[in-house]
Amino acid sequence: MTQKILAGIFASILVAGFVFYPLLVGSPQPVKSLNTEVTPTGVNKKVTMIANETVVQIAPDNALHPGGVMYNAYTFNGTIPGPTVGIDQGDNLTITLINKGKLIHSLDFHAGIGPSQVLSGSVSPGESKTWSLMGINGGGFLYHCGADGLNGVWEHIANGMYGTIVVHPQNEQKAKEFAVTFSEIYNNADPGVFNEVNGTGSFDIGKFLSEDADLVLTNGMAFKYVPSVGQVSKLELNPNATVFKVKPGEPTRWFINNPGPTDGVAFHFISGQQDVRDGFNAEAKDYGVTQLNDENWWIPPGSTSVIESTFPEPGVYVAVDHNMADVVKGGAFAILAVDNSTATDIPDGAWVPPKGSEFVGGNQQAQWVAEYGGGQANQTATSGSNQTAA
C-alpha cells in the first residue's frame, strides 16, 4: 500500500471523526477564569487578521539549500508567523478574521477561555468574523488556524498559519523582549540537504505522518538570524541575516513559541543559562517561576514558554533547539551582547508590543520605534482604546 493511499485513509478517518466537532463543543458559554481577581482595564484593543494562501521564501540561498526555498504557504497577514499580538492582563481584544484566500480558514486563540473567546469558527472565502476575548492570565500563548472545524488543521498549521499572543501580567518587570517562533516545514519539492529544491514546494502529508520535516524555521525562515557557523571552516548560511542585540547584563525576556505541528523544541542558550517563567504566580499577577538557572527547557508542540536570561559578557551567544538535527534544518538564532545595543534594535519579526502601551502588533513596529526610540521603548506609554493593528 503506497504512502499516498495510507495518508488518504488516515485523513478520511480524521474527517469522519471531526465532522461532529461543532456539535461536541456546544453553545458558547461565558468565560470562566482560573483567576477571579482580574479587574478589566477598560482598554479595548483591536487586531485584524487576513487569511490567505501566499508564496513565501523559507530558506536562504546557501550550501545546504542552493538557490533557496520557496513555498506555497498559508498565512495570516502575509507572513510566517502571523503578527505577534500584545495586550495587558484585563484588556479586551477584539479580533477580526478576513478570509481573502481560496480555502476555509479560522482562528484558535490559546489565550482565551471558552469557545466563544477562543474560536472564530469556520470562515469561508470572501467572508469575515469578529469576536472578542479578555486577557485573563498572563503569559505567552499560541494562536493558529483551526481550518474547517479541525478538518485539515494539521496542514494549515504546517503551512504557516500561527503566531504568538502575549498577555502582559500586571506585575511584569521591565526587560528587553523578543518573540521567536520555531516551526516545521514538510515540503514535497525538497530532495534533502545539499540539493536544490525542485520548484515551489507544498505540504507533503507523507513526510508529515512520518515526522520527517525538511526545515525548522525561526520566525518564518531557516537560519533567518544566523549569518554563518564555523571559525576555522566557515559555512555561510544567510548573508542577509540580522542578529539579536542585547547589552551585557541586561534583563531579556523571550517568548518562544512552538506551533509544531509535531516536534518539540529543546530550547537552550549556548554560553548562557535561563529562567523559565511559565504560567503565573499564586496571585495570578505575574509569571510563575518554573525553573531557575536552567540549561535546557522542553517546549511541546502547541505551547509558548516565557524564558528570561541575562548575557553577562560581551560576545556572541547562540540559541538553539538542542535536537541537533533541527539545528541543521535551521533551528537556531544568534545573539550579540554589545554595549551599543538600544531598546529599539529588534530584528524583523521579533517585536513584542510592550506592556502599558497603545500598540497591539502587526505593522506597528516602525511607529513604535519612531515614538519611543532613544531608550524609551520599554517605558510605559499611555494606554489607548480602540487601537487597531492590521
First to last CA, the chain: 47
Chain length of the chain: 390
Question: Which uninterrupted H or E stretch holds 371?
Answer: helix 365-372
**Residue pair 253/265 in contact by the 8 Å Cβ criterion:** no
Task: Tell me the per-residue pLDDT of 220-260, one tens digit each, with 9 for 90 and over.
Answer: 999 999 999 888 888 899 999 999 999 999 999 999 999 99
Task: Please give the share of the chain, as a percent, with pLDDT higher than 90.
Answer: 72
Give residue 362's pLDDT: 79
Task: Tell me the per-residue pLDDT of 168-217, one tens digit each, with 9 for 90 and over.
Answer: 999 999 999 999 999 999 999 999 899 999 899 999 999 999 999 999 99
Task: Label the pairing between strands 297-299 and 291-294.
Answer: unpaired
- Domains, the chain, ordered by start: 44-375 (2.60.40.420)
**Residue pair 172/86 in contact by the 8 Å Cβ criterion:** no
Residue 130 forms beta bridges with which residues? 96
Helices and strands (H, E) in the chain, number of each type: 7, 22
**3 state DSSP class of 115:** helix
Give the residue with greater pLDDT, 122 vs 291. 122
Q: State how far the Cα of 222 lies from the Cα of 245, in Å rounded to an integer.
A: 19
Q: State how far the Cα of 266 lies from the Cα of 255, in Å rounded to an integer.
A: 14
